[in-house]
Amino acid sequence: MKDKRELARVWAEDKPAVHVGKGGVDERVMEEVRRQLKRQRLIKVRVLPSALAAVPFDDLVMNLVTQTGAVAYGRRGFVVVLGRKGL
């Protein structure tokens, strides 16, 4: 990560760009994450508690990261910050 201030700004100011609902990580969610990462270097992803009924949070995030080619930069509660590889 080049700039820790940018990461701090995302945590403090940005609203979640993607919400993962009870359907979990499906193709639509992965496509939206890819689309958002093309537009921005870092995005917030909020995982709704209903999505965690079948899959633990860490497994859900790892699935999202591997399927989209993103990097997870941090987690706070039900929110994770994802970024492009090579920042």
* Predicted confidence (pLDDT) per residue in 32-84, tens digit: 999 999 999 999 999 999 988 889 999 999 999 999 999 999 999 999 999 98
* Model confidence at 28: pLDDT above 90: yes
pLDDT at 1 over 60: no
Average pLDDT of 8-31?
Answer: 91
All structural domains of the chain: 4-83 (3.30.110.60)
Q: Taking residues 1-30, report their average pLDDT.
A: 87
Structure-block tokens of residue 21: 């609902």
Tell me how far the alpha carbon of residue 36 is from its chain's centroid: 10
pTM value? 0.88
How far apart are the C-alpha atoms of 62 and 3, rounded to whole Å?
23
